[in-house]
Amino acid sequence: MINFGIDLGTTNSAIAKFNKGQVDIFRNPSGQKDTLASVVAFRKGRIIVGEKAREYLLKAPHQVAGAFKRKMGTNETYKIENHDNKTPVALSAYVLKELKNFVHTGEQIEAAVITIPASFDTVQSNATREAGHLAGFEQVVLLQEPIAASLAYANKDEIDTFEEGQWLVYDLGGGTFDVALVHIQEGEMNILDHEGDNFLGGIDFDREIVEKLFVPYLENEGSFENLLQEMKSASGKYNSLYFKLLYKAEEVKIQLSASEEAEVEFEAEDDHAELIDAYLTIARSELEALLEPYLAKTIEMMQRIIDRNHLKPESLKFILMVGGSTYIPYVRQQVASRLGISVNTQVDPTTAVAVGAAFFAGTKPKKLTPTVPQQEDYQLGVKVAYQKATQEDKEYFTAIFEGNIQGLFYRISRQDGGYDSGLKVLEEQIKEYLPLLKDTFNSFELKLFDEKNNPVEAAIPVIGISQGRYSVVGQPLPHDICLEIDDTENQKTELEVVFEKNAILPLKRSIIKQITRTIAKGSEDHIIIHILEGPAYALPAANQPIGFIQVSGKDLERDLIKGSDVEIVLEMSESRDLKIAVYLLMTDQDFEDVFMPSKRHISKARLVASLQSMISTIKDEIYEAEVNGNYEAAQELVDLEFSLLELLDQSNTMAVDDMTDEKYQIEDRKRKIAQQIDALTRDKHIIKVKNKYFQAKRNIEYVLGSYDPSDIDRQNYQEILSQEKVYLASNSSLKIQGIIDRINELNVRVIWRSPKYLVELFTDLAQGRRGRFMRQEDASVLIDTGWKSIEDRNYDQLRMCINQLWNLLPPQIRQEQSKFSGGTGIG
């Protein structure tokens, strides 16, 4: 098994190992602490990681980098004095490498489970995995932090009477916040729901202390111009001071967790080089006032989960507190009192995630290049399946063998000698119930033998089962994964959900779509299969793109005709690798790619332009809502407009080279506002598409009553009607449009088989449109042929005449005439 679990934290990291049912936390050889500060310093050719690096912030802040987890998945780099710029991925890799030094057993760590916030998107997750590979791990499995914390609690030996049920995990760390709803039943753990914010944590509290307490004090004591901006700008005059004050702020925060007051001293020079010898006494109540808006956001997220899952406080056992910031007394007190649910502090907030990661790692097999040689005669392949953690006293085990098994035998024995299956004939599939020792790790060995009882080498892993331990069923997907679909009628795109939020990873799905326009072989035209992450109901622009496949005319072996089928197969692994395979049925061609995007780019200019565009759009929406008398929605939109204006002002005042993560916070907030705008204005689009549905329904019912449909036609319509409530209740314009398209297709099938309709349509074309055809001579011939077809009852020939006459009409008349076929055109 992988066995090693790592908590790669914003402020502190830790490493632990699963060892025969228990978890050992490896301590820092320097200072014997359980954690490593996630800080990297570059000094005189040396790379220093940990507490010593953190201390260098006071001496040489431009040679130190910290809190880089908040910039994972971005193209941001850290400018290090006298060194090359360092990416968040590279800095994280230094931390991971240093954690390897904690392992004093001399083991070569080839694989590890590394934790990530549950709300990390796919880009951030991929960046974390990339850091693991850069640190030398051949295999990296990602685990969401609330799951890890829950595993640490559920498998804690000190709990005498663990009761199954459900609880909330409140994970407030140095840089991120997660809340998850956890349910354990019959030894299996499920994560039912979650919320999170990747830009809410202890670092924000430190910045509040600096910006709301330290900066006003300095401005009052000295002479400064744009002090805060000069602090946060990478090239600012007071950039070094900013880092020093953040260090001091963290000390203040820690002191106030244990006492009512904290004293802080520091020195600074103002714009006139006057020295300010600062001395402040800060009360715990001042810190609590700064924390309040952040704490309110966390409680709001918890309440959303409670409401969404129709829970009452009494239906939850407790709130499990995890993360260094939960040491703050105010956080614990307010969470318990405002939600009316007791808090649980039975796990160490700083190490619980690493411990849980190790428990998880103990259930995950290594998938490395096999090193066990096999004898030439047997070339065996083996697949095994069993529950790695269980509450049962016996566990079902099965293995499937591929290759030459003729004349072979197998034997399974428990390491302590308490169980031996005896020698048995090897079959393609073997099945055994393995007896387990209670409350411990049970290790079994499966061995193969030939007819002479000589051992046969095969790459069979050791079978490890923890009895009395809990495992997780699977990791939930934190965000919807969507396909961007063309809405050709409205000249826009919409999202179709491929994998829904909270679906259990890994996932796989096959979808058939039709090409919306012809792509000629050899042309520059192309089709794009575009995958986004975020709410399926939102506008595509409000979501995060994670990958696309583009197929151009130059890739085609023949023309790809409009309406031809495309098969799209999407697979997402447990660690969120996304694989897309595209098969073009018409050209018999395959295209595929694996997406592991680990960077996204956000500039101040792009952010400002995007906000200005959104403000322009929302003004139009406000005007339309007021004109239609929808004053409640108009007021909500005005509030969102105000929020956008605040973000725009914040963006404009931000330095171009701002070295904080402020622009990513603004981008994150902007995306959430875009989703709120979409939610408020979606109703008008839904009303419009529902009206289209009822019109299509009236059309088909008229056609079914007038043009002698078959029993199958009537049956197909009843099948569509049986799904009406589900589609209309979905409030998805894409789904409702889908059922409209089905009705229109049925409409066309019925009327184009009806002689009565064909005669009516031909008569309208021949008499009502006479003289309006583009080539009158050709039209006259077709009209004569059509009358003859009616006389002979040759309706196939009549259809041909109608199609050709249709193509002779001017485009504008053709568009008007399309109403006869349910709005889908003729032919």
Are 750 and 717 a contacting pair, CB within 8 Å? no
List C-alpha distances in Å: 138 to 5, 272, 311, 338, 712: 14, 55, 43, 46, 58
Residue type, 350: T
199/212 Cα distance (integer angstroms): 18
Residue type, 10: T
pLDDT of residue 770: 59
CA-nearest of 652, 621, 654 to 639 is 621
Three-state secondary structure call for residue 460: coil
For residue 410, what is the enclosing H or E element? strand 409-414
Please name the residue that has the structure tokens 């301590």. 27
Pairing type for strands 188-197 and 471-472 reads: parallel
pLDDT of residue 371: 47
Q: How far is C-alpha 39 from the chain's CA centre?
A: 27
Token pair for residue 683? 């109703």
Crossing angle (nearest 10°) for helices 755-763 and 795-808? 30
Provide the CATH topology of domain 481-595.
Answer: Substrate Binding Domain Of DNAk; Chain A, domain 1 (2.60.34)
730/733 Cα distance (integer angstroms): 8
List C-alpha distances in Å: 813 to 452, 803, 805, 819: 88, 14, 12, 11
Three-state secondary structure call for residue 566: strand
Beta carbons within 10 angstroms of residue 186's beta carbon:
8
Sheet holding 319-322, edge to edge: 343-344, 319-322, 165-172, 177-185, 188-197, 471-472
Are 51 and 66 a contacting pair, CB within 8 Å? no
531/545 Cα distance (integer angstroms): 6
List C-alpha distances in Å: 33 to 25, 66, 292, 527: 10, 19, 31, 55
739/741 Cα distance (integer angstroms): 5
391/467 Cα distance (integer angstroms): 6
Token pair for residue 18? 């699963």
pLDDT of residue 29: 83
Residue type, 33: K
Q: Please give the sequence-ordered ranges of beta strands (E in DSSP) within 522-657, or none if there are none.
A: 526-533, 544-552, 565-572, 578-584, 589-595
Is 10 exposed, middle or buried, given 0-12, 13-18 or 19+ CB atoms closer than 10 A?
buried
pLDDT of residue 5: 96
- The reply to whether domains 4-159 and 163-345 share a CATH topology is yes
DSSP characters over 668-727: HHHHHHHHHHHHHHHHHHHHHHHHHHHHHHHHHHHHHHHS---HHHHHHHHHHHHTHHHH
For residue 441, what is the enclosing H or E element? strand 441-449
Are 76 and 85 a contacting pair, CB within 8 Å? no
Is 93 exposed, middle or buried, given 0-12, 13-18 or 19+ CB atoms closer than 10 A?
buried
Please state the CATH superfamily assignment of the domain spanning residues 4-159 in this structure.
Answer: ATPase, nucleotide binding domain (3.30.420.40)
391/184 Cα distance (integer angstroms): 12
List C-alpha distances in Å: 228 to 61, 212, 655: 17, 10, 10
- The alpha-carbon radius of gyration of the chain (Å, integer) is 33
DSSP characters over 3-71: -EEEE--SSEEEEEEEETTEEEEPPPTTT--S-EE-EEEEETTEEEESHHHHHGGGT-GGGEEE-GGGG
Are 578 and 546 a contacting pair, CB within 8 Å? yes
What's 381-472's CATH class?
Answer: mainly beta
Please name the residue that has the structure tokens 């005005």. 638
Contacts 24+ apart (CB under 8 A), 742-746: 743/693, 743/696, 743/697, 743/699, 743/700, 743/717, 743/822, 744/696, 744/699, 744/821, 744/822, 744/823, 744/824, 745/824, 746/700, 746/713, 746/716, 746/717, 746/720
Pairing type for strands 471-472 and 463-467 reads: unpaired
DSSP characters over 287-299: HHHHHHHHHHHHH
Three-state secondary structure call for residue 533: strand
pLDDT of residue 769: 63
For residue 610, what is the enclosing H or E element? helix 604-627
For residue 507, what is the enclosing H or E element? strand 507-514
Token pair for residue 353? 């995630």
CA-nearest of 234, 83, 357 to 657 is 234
Q: Where are the domains of the chain?
A: 4-159, 163-345, 381-472, 481-595, 604-676, 688-821
pLDDT of residue 627: 77
Token pair for residue 41? 């310093």
Which architecture does CATH list for 163-345? 2-Layer Sandwich (3.30)
Q: Please give the sequence-ordered ranges of beta strands (E in DSSP) within 151-273, or none if there are none.
A: 165-172, 177-185, 188-197, 261-269
556/533 Cα distance (integer angstroms): 29
For the chain, residues with pLDDT lower than 70 are 157-162, 187, 368-378, 486-492, 539, 541, 594-603, 606, 682-685, 731, 734, 768-771, 814-827
List C-alpha distances in Å: 469 to 328, 362, 431, 505, 543: 31, 11, 23, 22, 39
11/69 Cα distance (integer angstroms): 9
4/12 Cα distance (integer angstroms): 17
Residue type, 352: A
Pairing type for strands 12-19 and 36-37 reads: antiparallel
List C-alpha distances in Å: 121 to 182, 517, 579, 606: 20, 33, 16, 21
Three-state secondary structure call for residue 227: helix
